[in-house]
């Protein structure tokens, strides 16, 4: 892991996970970064500035009113390659989402605007589950913040089954490294290095009225795993995702869409200069011909809704000739024949076949069992594996065509 010549601000807000921030500051410094630590007043109650000064070898800032540092909040917003907020308590997320600037850390986050920020939330599980925190994270994500964690595990108040625990310093470091676009670990000669890759994930949603939708149970996990795997091989990945429960992977550009038509527009705009498109999304194939602008009242008796086909993204796409295109085929029987005909009809280089009826495969599970079919007649049958491993194996096969 190398952060040589990187300038990182580590913003520490006041939660018990502060003790792990000391290790994070140390690891960043050891990896070559120049680390400026900014503590909130609450953080300084948990860990004294002196500790961070000793770990980073640099002065630690705790106040907007430091003599001689009148513009510290602007300099520290502008200059660094990355600002990491760890721990990011519920309070700091709320203040940042509101755009408050009532101490040094929030002032520098406000001045940071569209530059890289990575936050590692840490708080009691109920505080994390509170819709206020969810909304704040959503707001900050929409403004371009990246998040790592929180994870499920022991909290200061005891064991918990729900997320709240801050990610370990090594995990935060890995996310930071990915964000800074360092070459992939382990395989500097990766064929994916520098390639522009568009990955779609999740379902799409078609509204019947403002409160009812047609959709499917795709979790998005397969697509997110592919996007992360391609990114860690050094590809320049854009993830286009329908609505899912998953947190956007740190370090990736993520475009959120809702309907199939929105996904089509986003993909069309992105593929113009892409080297590969991996269509793992499950776009809704139909939408109501008429969208009611008010909630349809429940009627006695059956309801008939007329549906029309949504655009088929793969077949409607204008795409560069040399772009490698990977599609998915989720079938419920006679899969090989159907997948082959999809490869033909949708002009795919590869099709990834999985069976929705097979236990452990398809939607809503963390594993998958797929068969990879190539235009050149290649067929690779993979065993049941976690989706991230499936993603790696798919990329191993697809990279032959890059």
How many angstroms separate the CA atoms of 365 and 350, rounded?
Answer: 23
For the chain, give the number of residues: 402
Q: Which of 12, 281, 373, 391 binds ligand CTP (CB under 6 A)?
A: 281
**Listed ranges 9-17, 41-49, 60-68, 324-332: which one lies at the site for ligand CTP (CB under 6 A):** 324-332
Structure tokens at 324: 């490698």
Phi then psi for residue 49, to 5 deg, are -50, -35
Q: Minimum Å distance from CB 354 to ligand CTP?
A: 9
In terms of CB distance, is 62 or 260 closer to ligand CTP? 260
How many angstroms separate the CA atoms of 331 and 391, rounded?
Answer: 19
Contact call for residue 328 and ligand CTP (CB under 6 A):
yes
Active-site entry in 216, 236, 345, 376: 216
**Listed ranges 52-60, 279-287, 293-301, 379-387: which one lies at the site for ligand CTP (CB under 6 A):** 279-287
State the DSSP string of 261-277: HHHHHHHHHHHTT-SEE
Q: Which of 329, 361, 370, 401 binds ligand CTP (CB under 6 A)?
A: 329
Taking residues 340 to 379 in sequence order and writing x for each that binds ligand CTP by CB under 6 A, - otherwise, the string is: --x---x---------------------------------
Contact call for residue 279 and ligand CTP (CB under 6 A):
yes
Structure tokens at 275: 């080297």
The SS3 of residue 278 is strand
The SS3 of residue 116 is coil
Structure tokens at 44: 């300084």
What DSSP character marks residue 31? T
Contact call for residue 262 and ligand CTP (CB under 6 A):
no
Phi then psi for residue 303, to 5 deg, are -120, 130
Report the DSSP pairing between strands 324-331 and 276-279: parallel
Phi then psi for residue 282, to 5 deg, are -115, 75
Contact call for residue 260 and ligand CTP (CB under 6 A):
yes
In terms of CB distance, is 41 or 347 closer to ligand CTP? 347
**Residue 9 belongs to what H/E stretch?**
strand 7-12
Q: Minimum Å distance from CB 199 to ligand CTP?
A: 11
In terms of CB distance, is 145 or 328 closer to ligand CTP? 328
Contact call for residue 14 and ligand CTP (CB under 6 A):
no
Assess contact for 364 and 355: CB atoms under 8 A: no
Q: CA geometry: angle at 138 spanning 158 and 296, to 5°?
A: 110
**Listed ranges 175-183, 220-228, 311-319, 391-399: which one lies at the site for ligand CTP (CB under 6 A):** 311-319
Assess contact for 203 and 217: CB atoms under 8 A: yes
Q: Minimum Å distance from CB 239 to ligand CTP?
A: 14
Catalytic annotation on 91? no
**Listed ranges 205-213, 241-249, 325-333, 375-383: which one lies at the site for ligand CTP (CB under 6 A):** 325-333
| 376-399: burial string, b at 16+ Cβ within 10 Å, e else | eeeeeebeebebbbbbbbbbebbb
Q: Which of 250, 283, 335, 374 binds ligand CTP (CB under 6 A)?
A: 283
Contact call for residue 258 and ligand CTP (CB under 6 A):
no
Q: Which of 121, 202, 234, 327 binds ligand CTP (CB under 6 A)?
A: 327
In terms of CB distance, is 86 or 339 closer to ligand CTP? 339
Report the DSSP pairing between strands 253-256 and 196-201: unpaired
The SS3 of residue 51 is helix
Contact call for residue 277 and ligand CTP (CB under 6 A):
no
In terms of CB distance, is 220 or 283 closer to ligand CTP? 283
Alpha-helical runs (H) found in 278-375:
313-316, 335-345
Contact call for residue 202 and ligand CTP (CB under 6 A):
no
Assess contact for 284 and 201: CB atoms under 8 A: no
Contact call for residue 313 and ligand CTP (CB under 6 A):
yes
Taking residues 70 to 99 in sequence order and writing x for each that binds ligand CTP by CB under 6 A, - otherwise, the string is: ------------------------------
* Chain residues in the site for ligand CTP (CB under 6 A): 260, 279, 281, 283, 285, 310, 312-314, 327-330, 342, 346
Provide the annotated active-site residues.
Answer: 216
């Amino acid at each position: 892991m190398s952060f040589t010549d990187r300038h990182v601000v580590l913003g520490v807000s006041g939660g018990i996970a502060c003790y792990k921030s000391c290790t994070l500051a140390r690891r960043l410094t050891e990896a070559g970064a120049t680390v400026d630590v900014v503590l909130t007043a609450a953080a300084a109650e948990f860990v004294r500035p002196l500790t961070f000064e000793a770990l980073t070898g640099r002065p630690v800032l705790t106040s907007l009113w430091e003599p001689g540092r009148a513009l510290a909040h602007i300099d520290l917003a502008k200059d660094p390659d990355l600002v990491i907020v760890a721990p990011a308590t519920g309070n700091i997320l709320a203040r940042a989402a509101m755009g408050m600037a009532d101490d040094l850390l929030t002032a520098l986050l406000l001045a940071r605007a569209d530059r890289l920020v990575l936050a590692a939330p840490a708080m009691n599980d109920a505080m994390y589950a509170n819709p206020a925190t969810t909304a704040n994270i959503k707001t900050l994500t929409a403004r371009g913040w990246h998040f790592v964690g929180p994870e499920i595990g022991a909290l200061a108040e005891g064991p918990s089954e729900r997320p709240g625990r801050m990610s370990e310093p090594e995990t935060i470091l890995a996310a930071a490294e990915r964000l800074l676009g360092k070459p992939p670990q382990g395989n500097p000669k990766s064929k994916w290095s520098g390639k522009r890759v568009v990955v779609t994930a999740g379902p799409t949603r078609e509204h019947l009225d403002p409160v009812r939708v047609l959709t499917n149970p795709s979790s998005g996990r397969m697509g997110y795993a592919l996007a992360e795997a391609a990114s860690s091989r050094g590809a320049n990945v854009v993830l286009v995702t329908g609505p899912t429960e998953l947190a956007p992977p740190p370090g990736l550009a993520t475009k959120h869409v809702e309907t199939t038509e929105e996904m089509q527009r986003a993909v069309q705009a992105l593929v113009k200069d892409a080297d590969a498109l991996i269509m793992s999304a499950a776009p809704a194939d139909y939408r109501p011909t008429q969208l009611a602008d008010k909630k349809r009242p429940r009627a006695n008796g059956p309801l008939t809704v007329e549906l029309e086909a949504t655009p088929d993204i793969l077949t409607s796409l204008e795409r560069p000739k040399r772009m490698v295109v990977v599609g998915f085929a989720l079938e419920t029987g006679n899969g090989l024949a159907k997948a082959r005909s999809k490869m033909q009809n949708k002009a795919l280089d590869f099709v990834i076949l999985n069976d929705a009826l097979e236990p452990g495969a398809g939607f809503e599970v963390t594993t998958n069992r797929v068969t990879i079919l190539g235009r050149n007649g290649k067929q690779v049958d993979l065993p049941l594996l976690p989706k991230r491993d499936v993603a790696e194996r798919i990329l191993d096969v697809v990279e032959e065509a890059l």
